[in-house]
Amino acid sequence: MDAKKAKGIAARLLKTGRTKIAISPENMPEVGEAITKDDVRQLIKSKAITERKENSHSRGRAKKVAAKKGKGRKKGHGKRKGRATARTSKKENWMEKVRAQRNRLRELRKENPEAVEKAGYRKIYRKITGGYFRGKKYIDEMVLGKSEKA
């Protein structure tokens, strides 16, 4: 059987394309003697006919960039695509903001309990939940009556 025919049969047996099949030149006489599909199976078993490995993309550069991004590099305005909410959701932003404000309120209650009670801890807590305050400084203003500048 000629090499072309053997390649076709081997491709069907190995379930790949013809271009992925390799026949070693020193085993060409054996391939020529093959007559049946079973003979081709034997040649595959004896490694006279092999399947070429698939070419894969190198991940080296991608890993390098990923490591830099892990350190916080390459995240400037020029590298961004899409809206800000595509990077962090509105909910995540809200959670971050609210948690910071609630923590600040707790700190204020520890530091200055009478001022917080006078302003009303629960009242302020509910206002935080309702999104009344822009940030922590505004809570300080409400509780202490002025903004605390360091």
Q: For residue 27, give the CATH number of its domain.
A: 1.10.1650.10
Structural domain for 41, as ranges: 3-51
* Domain annotation covers residue 71: no
pTM: 0.51
pLDDT of res. 145:
82
pLDDT at site 147: 54
Q: 46 and 93: one domain?
A: no
- Say if residue 92 is in the same domain as residue 140: yes
Domain with 124 in it: what CATH number?
1.10.1200
Which two tokens mark 57? 């993309």
Q: Say what the pLDDT of residue 54 is.
A: 85
The 3-state DSSP class for residue 57 equals coil
Residue 83 lies in a domain: no
Write down the pLDDT at residue 148: 53
Answer yes or no: do 140 and 93 share one domain: yes
| Positions in the chain whose pLDDT score sits under 50 | 150
What share of the chain has pLDDT > 90, as a percent?
80
Tally of domains within the chain? 2
Report which residue type is found at 96: E
Residue 45 lies in a domain: yes
Ranges assigned E (strand) in the chain: 21-23, 49-51
In a domain, 59, yes or no: no
Shared-domain flag, residues 93 and 140:
yes
Distance between CA 46 and CA 57 in Å, rounded? 30
Element (H, E) at 87: helix 84-87
